[in-house]
């Protein structure tokens, strides 16, 4: 049986959009790259990709983008 610490939070598309907006506010110099990641996620979902999978890939790309900035 899983306890609360082991439960994974599944990010929705709305959560991902809010995260992208937050990153744009925090890193305005990366606005276009962040929007590109978000739009790619939307395109992949429109083409039949799983929301959970595409959002997960998008979050990985965002984190990598931010890490490369530092």
Task: Please count the structural domains in the chain.
Answer: 1
Would you say residue 5 lies in a domain? Answer: no
How far, in Å, CA of 36 to CA of 14, rounded? 16
Please count the residues of the chain.
70
- pLDDT 10s digit of each residue in the chain, 70 long? 444 455 557 889 999 999 999 999 999 999 999 999 999 999 999 999 999 999 999 999 999 999 998 7
Note the pTM of the prediction, 2 decimals: 0.84
Which domain range does residue 41 map to? 14-69
Would you say residue 3 lies in a domain? Answer: no
């Amino acid at each position: 049986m899983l306890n609360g610490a082991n439960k994974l939070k599944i990010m929705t598309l709305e959560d991902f959009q809010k995260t992208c907006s937050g990153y744009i506010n925090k890193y305005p110099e990366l606005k276009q790259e962040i929007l590109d990641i978000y739009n790619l996620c939307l395109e992949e979902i429109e083409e039949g990709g799983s929301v959970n999978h595409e959002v997960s890939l998008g979050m990985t790309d965002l984190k990598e983008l931010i890490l490369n900035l530092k």
